[in-house]
Structure 1
């Protein structure tokens, strides 16, 4: 099987599902997709999407799917989890 077959999608994660943390998953995609979930998604969705776009732009990533399950994480924690997931994703490319 070749290295870039559709059956070997590149995915990276960072974080946990524990209280006051978040789980960030990033994978290959043909377009940018952001899925933000959590009890306060209505309040923090726009802020978190802006953080995601800022960090992806800084790494020249435009076509990825990123999922964030937020369980009450602080903004600094969310940012750190996203940055680490991006770094792991890029290392696995």
Structure 2
């Protein structure tokens, strides 16, 4: 999946995460995370973001994630939504782990 434009998914409400996904400038996946629970869960959030993008075969992207205590399933959903919006896709795979 190729990221063609900047896209956003999520809100800044409590228990949510706002994910902004844009084409990468350095190659690979670059994750910028601000989180109210960074010390406890920062590595897990980064890992979830990386895992979702790997599942979607995204090779080059810049991710800015502003987390307000989102659960793992919410992080996954927001990253997938932002990725599909950013690639101008018209077919989606939201069932199960993909």
Would you say same fold, with TM above 0.5?
yes
Alpha-carbon distance between aligned partners in 2 of 1:51 and 1:85, rounded to the nearest angstrom: 14
* Most deviating of 20-29 and 49-58: 49-58
Count of aligned positions: 84
- Look up the match of 2:76: 79
User: Which sections of structure 2, spanning at least 5 residues, go unmatched?
Assistant: 90-98
Q: Which runs of 4+ in 1 moved over 6 A?
A: none
> Which of the two has higher C-alpha Rg?
1
- Look up the match of 2:66: 69
1:1-93 equivalences under 5 Å are 10-29=5-24, 30-31=26-27, 32-91=29-88
TM-score by length of 1: 0.81
User: Which sections of structure 1, spanning at least 5 residues, go unmatched?
Assistant: 1-8
Give RMSD over aligned pairs. Answer: 1.5
